[in-house]
A and B are shown apart, each in its own frame.
Chain A
Amino acid sequence: MADLAETGIKTEVKTSRSIAASVFYGATRQATAAIIVPALGLLFWEVSVAAGWFSGRLMPPPSRVLATLWTLLKSGELFNHIGITTARVFFGFVLGTVTATIAGAVTGYFGLARRLIDPSLQALRSIPSIAWVPLFILWFGIFEASKVALIAVGVFFPVYLGVSGAILSVDRKIVEVGRIFRLSGFTLVRRVMMPAVFPAYVIALRSGLGLGWMFVVAAEFMGASEGLGYLLVDGQQLGKPDQIMAAIITFAIIGKVTDSLLMAAAAPFLTWQDSYRREG
């Protein structure tokens, strides 16, 4: 009997290990598969420009884009642009998030406020945000204020929708537990509603941040002398596609980095989540 049990355990260990291994190799294989096509494309472009089949004037090969990126980096110019753009996104994001969180919390919690305010906000939401640009320039001038305002508008709506939707969908059953323990008003909000909406709030912040990076480009298109958006416009006006691509790559990297930072900041508060990807 003991032998049987032992062999049983051994096989179990073996299978779970081989499952883990196959999952790992599966993931690696998938990542490799995903890289093949773009890598071959870049390689082809590099080779064909080097061989003189194409001039690469409008579409510079990867090596030239990297060289431009390196030059910008070395001169410190790139950091300056990144700093300016990040600061704009930061202030726009904070402004948009704070107002959206308050508005979302109020309309999600109070039925009367929802009936009064939500329809107007939904109507404003259907306006393409770029359409605000001329008005914002008239109101706030062409410098920082109008840019931050535009970014804030872009951040506002996804965060607002996320917050008010999350509050509306808090499980009645869990709220009842709070009520049984005689929590009400702000205590109920703090101890039950806020933790319950937190996961959805993080997702709302992430989509808000994504839109923030989108809108900073639009904002910097409307007249900036610094920033990554300025690099784009400058590259277009002076015919420097390598500079445009360098700026695009930088956008991709810092967009991803800020999103990861946001997730990393939220992760310690979400270990309790019983989701498919976190199991175990």
Chain B
Amino acid sequence: MFRMSSVSRSALFGITVLTIGLGLVPAVVLVSTVGVSGFVRAWHSSYQLSSALETTLLSGIIALAIIVLLGGPTVWYLARQAPPRLVTWALGLILVPLFMPPLVLGLVLAYVLGPDTAVGTILSAWGVSPTNSWFSLVVAQVYEALPYFLITAWAGLSTLSTRVEESALSLNRRPREVFWYVTVPLAAPSLIAATAMAWSRVVGAFGAVVILAYHPTGLPVAIWIGLQELGLAQALPLALWLLIVGLPIPLGFAWRGERHVALRR
């Protein structure tokens, strides 16, 4: 590895610590304000916590599964098969929802999924409530998180050389074998990063969710309700629970990242 002068390295280290430290300020304040006792007490005192937790976890897992199922093949196509011009356009279009504040995204989606709209009418006919339902909750979460998955996964996958897969195919191994033995493991770091990013967005989705799915109430909306009804003392412990729920996948990614970095040096 290229070695910098100790002064430059120290300066970079300082900037890195500052950046991470600034990013951690909200979490540190949250943990120190709520404390372990407040965190545990919330489980017993908040009538909403267990159901909100269940709602967030269940809807989040469903939303994440949809994101991976839709986003995985899309990213694969864009990184491996699509003509360059289509990729440019597709990436631009993928970014469009990110330019909308989530609240606006929710309002716009309400125009599509509202009870009186064509889609809403069809869904209602099928027995699916288009708003304030598990369906609308998952839709809102998917809309908020999908672009993050696509961009992150594409950025990683597009840097993988196609020659690796081609040489594997030339070793008389069928595409399916090459996909599982070569492509998936090599793409894993970027896919895990994308999944971690998407999960963070899914569990924290609020803007679109509060418009489309006030009920069933997930943790972000429960925090909002808690803040309105009982103030910070009620909202912050729930926020800490949300943080804890969101952490496992990003932590798993950090662990994978450490192995990856260690291997490269």
A pairs with B:
no
Q: Which residues of B contact A (CB under 8 A)?
A: none
Q: Which residues of A contact B (CB under 8 A)?
A: none
